[in-house]
């Protein structure tokens, strides 16, 4: 018998006698709790409430105990994260000191993925929303390239490299990519579901082979009267159909493409954009769209008076004033061309040219006469009439029903003059968006033919609408959302690793990888979330530039324990939890890592 075989027999002998109780009854076997953390989770989603409890059960299986799990409101979470009252220290501490350890939450994104505010060093709390406190100079350098190139091929390459860093560093451990279920009548066609689900719809392409009328039922009331007030998802749906803009999201490919723009030229540094307007662009009353209308529209979005009024959307103001220093940043060259001068070069600059346009010749006199109160008037009534809803999109607002909270849209008869329309009018005679509070009433309307589209936020189930059988079709739609475990990168064990036995950032990263491998994503998708796919990185798979080569972290508790072992954290505690003699303690210190390996494959999962 050689020396190697003798060593193996000695190890097996030690494992057998030291851990005989665990081998006899695998139900008593547990991985030692190396350290404990606290969980914080947002309680607004039933599925998240379930999988957060599942994760609470999973973590002890790899040696991470849970002292407390606070499932709470966004307000309470904010006080521990992005609104932490940190004073001058500028650090969000662990949960026990008023901050957080890990947070279970979900996020929505734009189709153009911009991670600046979440992951850049410049946005670390309290400067921005990087409450993770993630600090990676290589990420910052690549992010700068990603945000400054207008070359789509390079931008995709940089996007993939950013995703790879987040995938490896894991400041956010992605759990799932949720999906949404919509109900459609089978005779509808031409609907790009992703654009529809993100309020970027192109209804000029929608068709209904039965009556050329679509009724879309929504579960929330319409509450905003024009594009300058718009912040809600449902008001964005009808407004995106009537408000024309220089650029729109393209059907099927989802990149920005010209709507009423004709030509676009970038300066060499990317900070100046010269745009010419399609000379055939007209408002719904037949008046031509001029460069001064576009400049004036942007001046309204950036007006402090309108921004500070109770009617306006501050988000539009903040976006535009970030990239345009003043009204002078937008220059009229002639009746059909403008210069847009940005404060910096920006990859997604065309998105800044996608804001709705109004007719200066009617809006400016109305504001002069009646003041900014017109922004709070019901469309097509009072002093405002159609002033603030007249635009150059494919549809026009034909009727607004404030009592029933619904709108009726009809085609803009001048739409087919545009180059982008290729001489064709919208295919529909009417597009109606109607509020129906009860899911039962909405379903009945869908089944009996009074409704053509049922919104996903009725929380439909597969049984309600079926999948492709009969006159009703249920469609599962990708949306730019993800669910995650957010990590406090200043936590001394799972963030910086300074309190681990190894004491390195790599040690903390190994713990985060262990956590990721301890998440049963497929189970969460199949049994809890109903509609979705396993999450991979913090960029949803519906965003432009998503890296399809990355795969979800596999659910593998053995591999998770391997990562934990690399950190040395199992050596912190005497295990198993019963009294041993001096000799046994010495042997235990020599064989602690071996014992974990021997028992891992018979533990409860």
pLDDT in tens, 339-394: 999 999 999 999 999 999 999 999 999 999 999 999 999 999 999 999 999 999 99
Beta strand 430-435 with 213-218 is: parallel
Asked whether residue 154 falls in the same domain as residue 201, the answer is no
Q: What's the pLDDT at 310?
A: 76
Of 175, 178, 144, residue with least CA distance to 161: 144
Asked whether residue 48 falls in the same domain as residue 170, the answer is yes
Question: Does the pLDDT of residue 484 top 60, yes or no?
Answer: yes
413-428 average pLDDT score = 92
Q: What's the pLDDT at 20?
A: 37
**pLDDT tens digits for 110-153?**
999 999 999 999 999 888 899 999 999 999 999 999 999 999 99
Beta strand 172-185 with 453-454 is: antiparallel
Going from the C-alpha of 13 to that of each of 18, 21, 339, 598, 600, the distances in angstroms are 8, 14, 80, 11, 17
- Helix axis angle for 360-370 and 291-301, nearest 10°, is 40
Bridge partners of 178, per DSSP, are 532
Which residue range is the domain that position 89 belongs to? 33-177+481-572
Please indicate, yes or no, if residue 116 is contained in any of the structural domains. yes
Q: What's the pLDDT at 464?
A: 55
What's the mean pLDDT when you consider all of the chain? 88
Asked whether residue 64 falls in the same domain as residue 122, the answer is yes
Contact 383, 374 (CB under 8 A): yes
Token readout for 375 is 């922004």
Asked whether residue 412 falls in the same domain as residue 361, the answer is yes
Question: Does the pLDDT of residue 261 top 50, yes or no?
Answer: yes
Question: Does the pLDDT of residue 578 top 80, yes or no?
Answer: no
Bridge partners of 258, per DSSP, are 247
Please indicate, yes or no, if residue 450 is contained in any of the structural domains. no
Please indicate, yes or no, if residue 440 is contained in any of the structural domains. no
Distance CA 136, CA 103 (A): 20
Question: Does the pLDDT of residue 279 top 90, yes or no?
Answer: yes
Q: What's the pLDDT at 156?
A: 96
3-state secondary structure of 526: helix
Asked whether residue 528 falls in the same domain as residue 501, the answer is yes
**pLDDT tens digits for 81-119?**
999 997 556 799 999 999 999 999 999 999 999 999 999
User: Could you tell me which residues come within 8 angstroms of residue 398 by beta carbon, excluding any fewer than 6 positions away?
Assistant: 408, 409, 410, 430
Distance CA 216, CA 209 (A): 16
Please indicate, yes or no, if residue 407 is contained in any of the structural domains. yes
Q: What's the pLDDT at 81?
A: 96
Asked whether residue 539 falls in the same domain as residue 400, the answer is no
Helix ranges (DSSP H) in 59-136 = 74-78, 116-119
Tell me the backbone φ, ψ of residue 386, rounded to 5 degrees.
-100, 10
Distance CA 195, CA 244 (A): 16
Q: What's the pLDDT at 21?
A: 38
Q: 466 pLDDT band (50/70/90 cuts)? A: low
Q: What's the pLDDT at 591?
A: 32
165-172 average pLDDT score = 98
Query: Considering the entire predicted model, what is its pTM?
Result: 0.86
Q: How many domains does the chain have?
A: 3
Q: What's the pLDDT at 444?
A: 87
Residue 543: half-sphere exposure toward Cβ, Cα within 13 Å? 26
Question: Does the pLDDT of residue 583 top 50, yes or no?
Answer: no
**The CATH number of the domain where 430 resides is what?**
3.40.190.10
Q: What's the pLDDT at 203?
A: 96
**Number of residues that this document lists for the chain:** 605
Distance CA 461, CA 470 (A): 17
Question: Does the pLDDT of residue 45 top 70, yes or no?
Answer: yes
Asked whether residue 7 falls in the same domain as residue 98, the answer is no
Asked whether residue 115 falls in the same domain as residue 11, the answer is no
Q: 218 pLDDT band (50/70/90 cuts)? A: very high
- Helix axis angle for 582-599 and 3-18, nearest 10°, is 100
Instruction: Find where tokens 């008023």 sit.
Output: 98
Please indicate, yes or no, if residue 458 is contained in any of the structural domains. no
Asked whether residue 266 falls in the same domain as residue 192, the answer is yes
Q: What's the pLDDT at 460?
A: 77
Distance CA 605, CA 57 (A): 10
**pLDDT tens digits for 503-551?**
999 999 999 999 999 999 999 999 998 889 999 999 999 999 999 999 9
Q: What's the pLDDT at 5?
A: 43
Asked whether residue 150 falls in the same domain as residue 196, the answer is no
**The CATH number of the domain where 523 resides is what?**
3.10.105
Residue 578: half-sphere exposure toward Cβ, Cα within 13 Å? 8
3-state secondary structure of 223: coil
Asked whether residue 159 falls in the same domain as residue 123, the answer is yes
Question: Does the pLDDT of residue 603 top 70, yes or no?
Answer: no
Asked whether residue 527 falls in the same domain as residue 549, the answer is yes
Please indicate, yes or no, if residue 441 is contained in any of the structural domains. no
Please indicate, yes or no, if residue 475 is contained in any of the structural domains. no
């Amino acid at each position: 018998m050689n020396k190697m075989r003798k060593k193996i027999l000695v190890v097996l002998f030690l494992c057998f006698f030291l851990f005989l109780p665990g081998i006899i009854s695998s139900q008593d076997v547990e991985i030692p709790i190396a350290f404990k953390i606290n969980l914080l989770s947002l309680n607004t989603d039933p599925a998240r409430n379930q999988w957060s409890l599942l994760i609470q059960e999973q973590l002890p299986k790899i040696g991470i105990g849970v002292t407390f799990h606070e499932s709470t409101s966004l307000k309470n979470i904010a006080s521990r994260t992005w609104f932490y009252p940190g004073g001058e220290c500028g650090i969000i501490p662990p949960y026990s000191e008023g901050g957080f350890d890990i947070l279970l939450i979900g996020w929505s994104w734009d189709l153009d993925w911009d991670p600046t505010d979440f992951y850049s060093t410049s946005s670390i709390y309290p400067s921005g929303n990087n409450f993770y406190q993630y600090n990676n100079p290589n990420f910052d350098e690549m992010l700068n390239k990603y945000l400054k190139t207008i070359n789509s091929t390079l931008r995709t390459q940089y996007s993939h490299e950013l995703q790879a860093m987040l995938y490896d560093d894991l400041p956010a451990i992605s759990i799932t990519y949720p999906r949404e279920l919509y109900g459609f009548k089978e005779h509808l066609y031409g609907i790009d579901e992703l654009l529809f689900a993100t309020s970027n719809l192109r209804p000029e392409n929608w068709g209904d082979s039965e009556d050329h009328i679509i009724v879309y039922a929504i579960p929330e009331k319409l509450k905003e009267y024009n594009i300058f007030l718009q912040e809600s998802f449902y008001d964005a749906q009808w407004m995106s159909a009537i408000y024309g803009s220089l650029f729109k999201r393209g059907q099927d490919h989802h990149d920005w493409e010209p709507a009423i723009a004709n030509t676009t030229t970038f300066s060499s540094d990317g900070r100046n954009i010269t745009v010419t307007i399609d000379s055939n662009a007209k408002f719904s009353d037949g008046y031509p769209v001029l460069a001064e209308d576009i400049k004036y529209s942007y001046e309204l979005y950036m007006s402090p008076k309108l921004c500070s009024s109770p009617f306006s959307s501050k988000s539009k103001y903040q976006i535009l004033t970030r990239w345009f220093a003043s009204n002078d940043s937008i220059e009229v060259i002639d009746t059909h061309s403008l210069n847009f001068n940005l404060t910096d070069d920006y990859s997604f600059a065309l998105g800044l040219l996608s804001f709705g346009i109004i007719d200066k010749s009617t809006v400016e006199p109305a504001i002069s006469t009646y003041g900014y109160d017109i922004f709070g008037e019901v469309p097509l009534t009072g002093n405002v009439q159609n002033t603030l809803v007249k635009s150059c999109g494919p549809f026009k607002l034909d009727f607004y029903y404030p009592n029933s909270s619904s709108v009726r849209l009809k085609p803009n008869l001048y739409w087919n003059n545009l180059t982008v329309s290729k001489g064709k009018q919208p295919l529909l005679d009417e597009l109606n968006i109607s509020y129906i509070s009860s899911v039962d009433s909405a379903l009945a309307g869908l089944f009996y033919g009074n409704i053509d589209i049922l919104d996903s936020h009725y929380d439909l189930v597969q049984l309600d609408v079926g999948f492709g059988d009969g006159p009703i079709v249920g469609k599962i739609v990708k949306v730019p959302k993800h669910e995650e475990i957010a990590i406090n990168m200043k936590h001394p064990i799972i963030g910086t690793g300074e309190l681990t036995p190894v004491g390195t950032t790599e040690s903390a990263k190994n713990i985060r990888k262990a956590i990721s491998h301890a998440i049963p994503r497929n189970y969460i998708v199949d049994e809890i979330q109903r509609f979705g796919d396993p999450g991979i990185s913090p960029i949803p798979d519906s965003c432009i530039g998503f890296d399809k080569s990355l795969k979800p972290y596999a659910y593998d508790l053995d591999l998770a324990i391997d990562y934990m072992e690399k950190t040395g954290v199992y050596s912190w505690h005497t295990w198993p939890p019963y009294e041993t003699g001096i000799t046994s303690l010495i042997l235990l210190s020599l064989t602690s890592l071996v014992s974990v390996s021997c028992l891992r494959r018979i533990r409860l999962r």
